[in-house]
Amino acid sequence: MILPFANLDPEPDQQYFSDGLTEELIHALTRIAELRVIAWNTATHFRAEQDMANIRDQLGVSYVLRGAVRRTGQRLRITAQLIDACTGSTCGSRPTIVKFWTSSRFRNRLRWSS
C-alpha cells in the first residue's frame, strides 16, 4: 500500500502536489502484474494512520510505502520509506532531490549552450 505522501511544504495549498505524486506512484505500480496495489480512494482513508499493524489487518497488505514532499526554493526533496507491515520496521529509505528551473533560467541555459 502507498500512503498519501505528507506535504512538508510551508504552503498548505501544495498538498495537491503530494497527493498527485502518490496517485502517480499507485498508477505506475498497478502496471506490475505481480503486485496487488491498494486504490487511491482507499489509501486516503489511512492518510494519518501510524499503526502499521492496523493497516495490515484491515487491508491484508505486507508492506506500506510512506513518504513526504518538501519544497525549498527551486529544490524539491522527496523521501520514501518501505515499511514491513508485520514488524513495523523500515526495509529501506531513499531521499531524492529534484531541482526546478524557471522558464527564464531554462531559456538562458539554452541560449548559452547553443
CA–CA gap between residue 49 and residue 89 (Å, rounded): 15
Let me know: does 107 contact 100? Beta carbons within 8 Å: no
Kindly report which listed range (37-46, 58-67, 87-96) carries the lowest average pLDDT score. Answer: 87-96
What length is written for the chain?
114
Domains annotated on the chain, with CATH: 6-113 (3.40.50.10610)
The per-residue pLDDT of the chain, averaged, comes to 84
Which residues share a beta bridge with 48?
Answer: none
Closest CA to 5 of 58, 63, 48, 59: 48
Longest dimension (CA), the chain: 58
Range name among 43-47, 74-78, 95-99, 102-106 with the lowest pLDDT average: 102-106
What is the pTM assigned to this prediction? 0.77
- The pLDDT confidence band at residue 111, using thresholds 50, 70 and 90, is very low
Residue 44 has pLDDT above 90, yes or no: yes
Which of 19 and 97 is assigned the larger pLDDT? 19
Pairwise CA distance, residues 24 & 42, whole Å: 15
